[in-house]
Structure 1
């Protein structure tokens, strides 16, 4: 329940911050002196997001991510270029061949896209060098994508409950050994 409350509060906060688009942006070096994308570029970003979530395709990323792209998952950098990004996405495609990512909320605001999503799939393939568990997973998460003036993705921040994900796969947490 705390996770859902936090997520709702986060979405409301981002929604409110979008009302003042140009003044709420930080000073990201990619922003070209604080300028934001136009309506056409924002529409292209929304179209890209629709394709990006459920596609593992090198050509989709060509010209759409910068050379210094970085992906954070729960605050930890996991990919710092297109090759690493494709490798991470392929891990999920192999581990969960029937996976689906459905958007429950998307907002493009300035040079950012905010996405609330649901991931579902069955672990029938090897995932991160671990044999398949055959278990179904359903997790919710939130992503913030940062774009430059040309609509190229340069940073992605993904947040979800990793413990819930692992528990659905059948893993458990054991208390620490204090002896």
Structure 2
């Protein structure tokens, strides 16, 4: 009789303990996701859309690395800010709109749209007054404190230049 009563009690205790552990894991995962998405939201709204570079100090690590189309364009906050300022100079009304996002582990994958009007010098291209609308994808990696470690962004640079009026010419064959 003792084993008959002990078995269900142990099973019940095991279920309660495991349920509590699972609830805590879910709670921790949700809190982590909130930290990551808060940093990302600030990156989009404060840094990109409001051009507030001081926000980078709060939401990203000092050695924040940014890649664009497979090439490293910045390896610290100052370089990231300088690289972004190229876009802000060329497109002072820059806007990033997040289309959708997927969160997994310490990574956030995002589809976004960049819009702006080319009223300043962009790289070496003088203002055309043309509006651009370019879609892209970024994957962000975060540290355990929710700060951005790196961004890996992909978009069609040719599409951007074509919207500014540039065309491709056939290559000269020798």
TM-score interval w.r.t. the shorter chain? Answer: 0.7 to 0.9
Match of 2:153 among 151, 154, 158: 158
Richer in helix (by share): 2
- Aligned equivalent of 1:107, options 74, 82, 102: 102
Once the two structures are superposed, the pairs formed by residues 28-39 of structure 1 within 5 Å of their partners are 38-39=29-30
> What secondary structure, in the 3-state scheme, does the structure 2 residue paired with 1:89 have?
helix
Moved over 6 A (4+): none
* Superposition deviation, residue 153 in structure 1: 1.2
Partner residue, 1:60: 55
Distance 2:30 2:51 in 1: 27
Contact 1:56 1:86 in 2 (8 A): no
Q: Structure 1-normalised TM-score?
A: 0.74
Gaps of at least 5 residues in structure 2 are 1-27
Deviation (angstroms), 1:39: 2.3
Q: CA deviation at 1:46?
A: 1.0
Count of residue pairs brought into register by the alignment:
143
Match of 1:174 in 2: 169
Gaps of 5+ in 1: 1-36
Structural RMSD (CA): 1.5
The normalised TM-score by structure 2 is 0.76
Structure 1 segment 64-103 matched on structure 2, within 5 A: 64-103=59-98
Q: Which moved more, 1:53-62 or 1:151-160?
A: 53-62
Bigger relative contact order, structure 1 or 2, given CA contacts below 8 A and separation 6+? Answer: 1
Write out per-residue CA displacement over residues 67-94 of structure 1, whole angstroms, 9 at most, x where no aligned residue: 3321110001101110010011111111
Residue of structure 1 in register with 2:5 after alignment: none
State which structure, 1 or 2, has the greater radius of gyration over its C-alpha atoms: 2
From 128, 131, 142, the counterpart of 1:136: 131
2:115 aligned with 1:120: yes
Displacement of 1:95 after TM fit?
A: 0.8
d(CA) in 1 for partners of 2:29, 2:51: 27
1:44 partnered with 2:39: no
